[in-house]
Structure 1
Amino acid sequence: MELKLGTYAVDTYKDIPVPYAIFKIIYADDGSIVNTQYMFVNQAYCSTAGMRREELIGKYFLDVYGEGDRRWLDYCQAAVTTGKTIHETIYSPEVQQW
């Protein structure tokens, strides 16, 4: 994905130095969040996860990381419910980082 800013073109896949991903939220019938689906990941996210972009895009978070830490889904639910950014630090054994 390329974004033109004046004469400088930012390649959001390569030029943003911090890992980030965009997810589609998967809801249960009761409105709770039960999973997320990868829609976009940048290179830094791929490096941190130790996976290629093709291994993530379109996949479900819980399929990629097994049961993983369901707090990630709780944070999504809180952000959607309150409309506020959630700041939290937890250890991710999947990528062995805080």
Structure 2
Amino acid sequence: MPISRAELPAEDAAALIDQLCERWSDAKAIDRASDPVRIDFASGSCYLQAQPDKLLVVVEAVDDEAHNQLEGEVDNTLDALKGVELDIVWEA
């Protein structure tokens, strides 16, 4: 299973997690009781953890194609929430 992670500067990472969960709540299974928060997609999962001054995002998928698609969905959603295009660098 391909896994990648990114750390994004964020003044209020918890608020970003809230917004992401709200955005995906109707189409995804979300476990907000866990730390990190887990969001299940059809072909993988996204883990979100608020840390001081940053948001840690981990993407895990069943194969490379699904992994790339899931990274893209997370990128696009974060860009839309922040209102600016982020330069997200995923690390394997």
TM-score of the pair, normalised by structure 2 = 0.26
Query: Structure 1 or 2: larger helix share?
Result: 2
Q: Give the number of the structure whose alpha-carbon radius of gyration is greater.
A: 1
Higher relative contact order (CA 8 A, sep 6+): 2
Greater fraction strand: 2
Tell me the TM-score normalized by structure 1: 0.25
